[in-house]
Structure 1
Amino acid sequence: MARNKKIFGIDISKDTFDVVDSMGNYNLFSNNMIGFLKFFELLDSRSHCVMEATGYYHYPLACFLTEKHIAVSVENPLSVKRYVQMKLSRIKTDKSDAKMICLYGQERELSLWKRYSKNQLQCLQLISLLETYAKQSTSLKNKLEDQLTLGSPSQSAVKSLKRSLMNLQQETAIIEAEALALVESEHRQMLTKLESIPGVGRKTALTLIVLTNGFKRFKSSSQLCSFTGLTPVIRQSGSSIKGKNRISKIGNGRLRNLLFMCSFSACKSNRACRELYERIVNKGKSKKLALIAVCNKLLKQAFAIAKSGVAYNENYGSTVTVNQ
């Protein structure tokens, strides 16, 4: 970080946001336009504001500051959390969080935040809603199964659950159609090319485009795999501790689940994925591990296609390689 920059660490909650600058000064503001304007009085051209991506609470302030030409960085909460753990901080308050975010900004290389376009913001909200509906649908299906296993279930309860499921399915179809229309308005060709990958369906292609902002968020396929939570976590220490390797699961759960479902089809219809799956299984590895590897392969294929603009070609296996 440039020495002439003045870092402001910001911890945001629903109603307020705490601010600690690189000089140690502390302020508390309301999380609304009145608070934004008061905070802006403390800033100048050398100011750089750092905050965490806290749901949607950070978004209005980040937009306000960028419109005022103030440098803003919105960091992954997990990265900040790991930094706080490294510092062995035992204090957990909004003020202490703002202070740690400020220190994080002073010691780390920061990327400038860019606000979403209106289309992208709407798409993200729709995808988030679909994830909520998917969880609710699973909960209702499990509850319905519980009722049916009783042998003599309440017909009123069963009918109510079925009505709720039907309504949820109808709402899901409406939201999916709206999300599709928004994506096609900007990324129709990309969507078509992603769907050309054997095993990748429309829902997965749609979700990939929305969550990656048309694959602009990532410079390499490995970054995309990490974002999805499909990278392995190796647990080993010395010669005695050798834990079972697992995927990180730090990322978007809906996308990860969609890819896992795609992997079953890809093992049959996608030559590169099928060969990878068979190679891993023939080495004595578990089928689940092989399917996870297939998920990563699908992500790499999708990344290469999105970046190159070339449709899937089986003769080249995983298509054109771009920054993998």
Structure 2
Amino acid sequence: MSKFKHFLGIDVSKEYFDAVVIVDGNKEKSFHCQFDNDSKGIKSLCKWLKEQGSTYKNTLVCLEHTGMYGRLIIRNLISFKFDIWVEMSLKIIRSIGVQRGKNDKLDAERIAYYALKNVNEAIIHKAPRMEIDKIRNLLSLREKLITTKATLVRNANEFKQFDVAATKLFEKLHKNTIKGLQKDLKNIEIQLDNLIKEDQNLSKIYNQSTSVPGIGRITSLFLICYTNEFTMYSTPRQLACYAGVVPFEYTSGKSIRVRPKVHYLANKKLKKQLHMCALSAIRSDPELKHYFSRKVEEGKSKMLVINNVRNKLVHRVCACVRGNKIFEKRQVA
């Protein structure tokens, strides 16, 4: 029996958010209001909920993944002891069926109804620690700086073929910019190192995950952030599915026989990192190098085998973290 009597759906945008609360589990008995997406707006939301008889004890709050726009709402509502369910927007859309029309109020109402209908499957959001938020923000900034630097260098290299004089001018003008970007990137690396060293749990998980051949510091930090210190997934397969490295069967009757393939819904950043880790592991780990060579000789496609290695790396990291141990290399016969 669920403890929740009321279901609050929130549709978030940059400047404001729409809230619809379904009272006493009755879809026909719902109330809507719009609030500013700031601390004052969230306090007004709590006051409005109280007027509807909705409190943190009897209300399930549901909202979609909206990145930075929803962080303030989640952080504040958790501080007010509300139970929050942060769900994929695609799951909400597909569960409701065919819908016509769209606006913010309607979206909030659909989210509230989704929470009511699937309350027994609710996964209560556990807010990451402040250190994890800092690492996530630093990684995001690092990625933007690397992209900016690569764009400047690429543009200069493209001009070399057509206009040498323009290339020299470009290199002269953005020389200091690139140096500044490199300096900022080094400072970010220092900040990340300090955060890991100063936190005992982070340091432990980081050392365990990077002990797996092929797993580097950035991939380890991505895994820590996306799994909230390996607390969000109960099995390695769940994490591997999230990373998009688990192949699924596609068959129907006698006519449709498609070879197993990974699903397109995945964390693309993490998948990209694991791909590079797999290539590194195949070169540096004798066991995986032997596995790769053997499977290719058997006629398996290289991409299929690389994906299998990505899957193995996820399972190895999870085994080390869950077992609280450092990875031990095995001798290849």
Q: Same fold (TM over 0.5)?
A: yes
2:328 alignment counterpart: 313
Equivalent position SS for 1:58: helix
Q: Any unmatched runs of 5+ in structure 1?
A: 318-324
Q: Which of 172, 177, 180 matches 1:167?
A: 180
**Closer, same or farther: CA 293–70 of 1 in aligned 2, 3 Å:** same
1:253 CA drift (Å):
3.4
Matched, 1:157 2:170: yes
Q: Secondary structure of the residue that 2:68 maps to in structure 1?
A: coil
Does residue 80 in structure 1 map to residue 83 in structure 2?
Answer: no
Name the CA distance, whole Å, in 2 between partners of 1:3 and 1:118: 29
Shift of 1:281: 1.7
User: What amino acid is the match of 1:206?
Assistant: L
8 Å CA contact 1:147, 1:158 repeated in 2? no
Q: Secondary structure, in 3 states, of the residue corresponding to 1:157?
A: helix
When normalised by structure 2's length, the TM-score is 0.84
Which residue of structure 2 lines up, in the alignment, with residue 6 of structure 1?
A: 6
Larger Rg belongs to: 2
| TM-superposed deviation, 1:125 | 0.8
Distance 1:3 1:218 in 2: 24
* Aligned match of 2:26: none
* Mapping of residues 143-292 of structure 1, within 5 Å: 143-150=155-162, 152=164, 154=166, 155-186=168-199, 187-232=202-247, 246-292=261-307
Identity %: 27
* Letter of the 1:99 counterpart: E
Q: Report the alpha carbon displacement of residue 223 of structure 1 after superposing the two structures with TM.
A: 1.6
- From 294, 300, 304, the equivalent of 2:319 is 304
Indicate conservation of the 8 Å contact 1:264/1:291, yes or no.
Answer: yes
1:147–1:153 contact (8 Å) kept in structure 2: no
**Is 1:132 matched with 2:138?**
no
Q: Which deviates more from structure 2 when the two are superposed, residues 187-196 or residues 106-115? A: 187-196
Report the alpha carbon displacement of residue 307 of structure 1 after superposing the two structures with TM: 1.1
Q: What CA distance in whole angstroms lies between the structure 1 residues aligned with 2:84 and 2:155?
A: 45
Determine the C-alpha separation between the residues in 2 that align with 1:77 and 1:140: 36
- RMSD between superposed Cα atoms in Å: 2.6
Deviation larger for 105-114 or 162-171:
162-171
CA distance in structure 1 between the partners assigned to 2:254 and 2:314 by the alignment: 34
Q: Report if the CA contact (8 A) 1:50-1:75 is conserved.
A: yes
Of 304-313 and 106-115, deviating more is 106-115
The equivalent position to 1:47 in structure 2, one of 56, 59, 82, is 59
TM-score, normalised via structure 1 length: 0.86
Number of equivalences: 315
- Per the alignment, residue 35 of structure 2 pairs with 29
Report Cα offsets for 1:121-158 as digits up to 9, x if no partner. Answer: 11111112122223333333432332223253512123
Unmatched segments (≥5 aa) in structure 2: 23-28
